[in-house]
Amino acid sequence: MLKMLRWAVAFAVGPLLALPLTAHAAPFTYDLSFDTSGQSIWDTGAAPTLNQTTFLGAAWQNQNVNEDLIVGNESTNVINPLRVTYNVAFGACRGLGFSSSTCINGQSARVPVPRLGSRPSVRSCGRFAVGCKIARAADFVKRAAYDTAFATCRRGFSASVCRNGQSGRLPVLALGTAPPQFLALDTRTGVAVNGTTDGRVGLELGIAIDSGSVDATVSYQATLDIPDTTGLNKVNPINFNPNSALAGTNTLDTTFANLELSVDAIMELSGSVDAEACVIPAGCTTGGTPFDIAERAPILSFNEGGGGGILLLGQSPSDFGLPATANGFPFELDVAGLATVTLHLPQPDATGGANAIDPATQKLKATGQDDLVDLILDLDNIVATSAGVPGLFGSSLDIPLLGSVGFDIINVEMGPTIDLKQDFELDPTLFVELVFDQAVRIGGNLVTEWMSAWDLLPDITFLADVTTVIPTFFLDAELLNQTLLDFDLQFGIDLLQILFDFGLLGQGSFGIGNVLDQAIDLFESPALFSNMFPLGGFDLQIGESFVIDFLGGSRLPVVASATSAVNPIANDVPEPGTLFLFFAGLCGLYALRRRARGSSLVLIVRRVRATSRA
């Protein structure tokens, strides 16, 4: 958007050409809505504000205290009693003559078995060998004895053991692998307590200043006629017959300047208390309790919420026995019972827009008014005092044992009231920047971009067969602030009021009561403050493109609503030369838009991008 500021200011001189296309033109309307907020009500720019607090007191972070009464270590090497027992058992096993392997792996008990050897043989003898036969008989006896012994042995042992025999041995229990010589033991015992805390304690002083702000919504319906260009000669310039009018949602709201003061007592504490307890050999257990205290107590406040009141410890000062005048605004002062002066803290916030549009000028208006000073005279008391008869219009009577009765024949109060009033008037002008994807001729120059007031859009000669046009709408808005005083006359009459107080029986009043309560608008002062200034902060509205096609027919946008975009002018700092040209163009447009729409002079702001002329 900054590049627009460098566009030169030029005049397009010549009457508008009447086109034969208008009979075949198709109208289209863009629905536009521009918003701005937080702008100053006094001059151009965002509303300055101040919201600051200052702390007076003590503050700390990560403060801790601890007491550690735990002795011992988490891992201490001590002799393993199982290893001592193992060593004793292993030494005894070895002392009995067993091998290391037998002591480690153990062995079972074994019964000794005598060796039987092989089965005895039986010799062979001749028929008449008597001696041999006697020996043969002995062989059979030996074999029978062997078989008996072998059969008995086989009941519990193998044939090999029976033949070869075996030695006996004692059983040995397996000791297994030696356990570790040392054990890692947690020998900690005792307690430890640790506390950590963050916090602050003291007074917090606060001040909030708002210079006053304005929020606005400006909605337009921007119409144009897009001609049916099929078969038309491109040498003929086209006028879109643009027109704009306020429509839809239009609001103008302001907030008056405000000041708030506060003093609060602050107590903020956070942290935790953690403990650890240890016992041999169970080890250690931990636990903790966090705490978080955030308390704030009001000490003093002024104009909290814009009401103008004063609060002590969150209550009105009169609640502590102080005069009612200490309660802040409205501040009431009694003048000898003859008059009452009341001072107010005015907040003339203005609201308007939709119901305050002037159809003739297309301007948005808003008005705000609030009490400033009331001076009310007690006329009946003044007359009675002047006549030297204080009870002329009323008196009271004590009734023994019952109470009292009083009456007031007439009570007349009147006097001027002064209000602070603000009148705002927002005067918007709809502008547009047209971007062409093909060069067009405007005012004798070839351009691809053009910016002007929408209602003053000039004739455009399209040189290409097909050209796409993208419109971007923005506002030039001026806000008038007039701050003045409004004087009114308040007049009231009460007739015959009877008051009674009978103690436990009751109290009250009755009578004719109010017969007149009227406010008369007297006059307004000249403006105490009057300033007209550009109101900024409005967003951009990017409309859907349309196509001027001399071959297949022009095409209208499909969507009437535009897309909102941030206006970069609010963030960029323009160069001095381009800023002068930009405001010069706006001033010229401001003067010309009040002239008749049929004027032949059209002031435009444009940028020439082409380097040749037709």
135, 136, 138, 140: CA torsion to nearest 10: 170
* CB environment 223-237: b (16+ within 10 A), e (fewer): bbbbbebeebeeeeb
Q: How far apart are the first and last CA of the chain?
A: 28
Q: Would you say residue 82 has pLDDT above 90? A: no
According to the model, what pLDDT value does residue 394 have?
A: 67
- Asked whether the beta carbons of 555 and 546 are under 8 A apart, the reply is yes
Given a cut of 50, is residue 13 above it in pLDDT?
Answer: no
pTM value is: 0.61
Q: Name which of 73-82, 382-391, 469-478 the model is least confident about.
A: 382-391
Q: Six-digit token pair at 489?
A: 């006359």
pLDDT for residue 432 = 96
Residue 473 has pLDDT above 90, yes or no: yes
According to DSSP H, which parts of 310-465 are helical? 379-387
Pairing mode, strands 601-607 and 445-453: antiparallel
- Give the burial string for 476-507 (b: 16+ CB within 10 Å, else e): bbbbbbbbbbbebebbbbbeebebbbeeeeee
Residue 55 vs residues 52, 210, 220, 265, 363: alpha-carbon distances, Å = 10, 21, 50, 10, 48
Contact 474, 541 (CB under 8 A): yes
Of residues 328 and 608, the one with the higher pLDDT is 328
- Which residue bears the tokens 């700092």? 573
Mark 397-427 as b/e (b = at least 16 C-beta within 10 Å): eeeeeebeeebbebbbbbbebbbbbbbbbbb
Higher pLDDT, 78 or 380: 78
Strand runs labelled E in 17-74: 26-40, 49-68
Query: Cβ-count burial of 448 within 10 angstroms (0-12 exposed, 13-18 middle, 19+ buried)?
Result: middle
More confident residue, 11 or 142: 142
Looking at residue 578, its pLDDT comes to: 34
Amino acid 458: pLDDT: 95
Q: Decide: residue 308, CB within 10 A, 0-12 exposed, 13-18 middle, 19+ buried.
A: buried
State phi, psi for 315 to the nearest 5 degrees.
-130, 160
CA-based angle 233:237:238, to the nearest 5? 100
pLDDT in tens, 116-144: 888 888 888 887 888 888 888 888 888 88
pLDDT value, residue 606:
34
Query: Is residue 26 scored above 60 in pLDDT?
Result: yes
Cα-only R_g, the chain: 56
151: helix, strand or coil: helix
Q: What is the mean pLDDT of residues 59-68?
A: 88
pLDDT at 75 over 70: yes
Confidence bin at 283 (pLDDT 50/70/90): confident
User: For residues 24 and 227, is the Cβ–Cβ distance under 8 A?
Assistant: yes
235-252 average pLDDT score: 91
Which pLDDT score, from 0 to 100, does residue 228 have? 84
Residues 62-90 as b/e (b if ≥16 CB within 10 A, e otherwise) read eeeeeeeeeeeeeeeeeebeeeeebeeeb
With vertex at residue 464, the alpha carbon angle to CA 462 and CA 468, rounded to the nearest 5 degrees, is 75
DSSP 248: S
543's CB contacts (< 8 A; 6+ apart) are 30, 32, 222, 470, 471, 472, 473, 557, 562
Mean pLDDT comparison of 31-40, 108-117, 345-354, 571-580, highest-scoring range? 31-40
The whole-angstrom separation of Cα 342 and Cα 325 is 10
- Which positions ≥6 away from 331 have C-beta within 8 Å? 325, 342, 343
Average pLDDT score over residue span 521-527:
87
Residue 581 has pLDDT above 90, yes or no: no
What is residue 441's predicted lDDT score, i.e. its pLDDT? 95
Q: Reply yes or no on whether the pLDDT at 547 is more than 90.
A: yes
pLDDT for the residue numbered 395? 67
How open is the CA angle 26-29-34, to the nearest 5 degrees? 160
State the pLDDT confidence band at 518, using cuts at 50, 70 and 90. Answer: confident
Rounded mean pLDDT of the chain?
Answer: 80
Res 33 pLDDT > 90: yes
At 398-456, the pLDDT tens digits run 777 777 877 777 777 888 899 999 999 999 999 999 999 999 999 989 999 999 999 99
Report residue 18 as tokens.
Answer: 């009447």
Could you read off the pLDDT of 158-187 as tens digits, one per residue? 888 888 888 778 888 888 888 888 887 878
Q: Which amino acid is at 5?
A: L
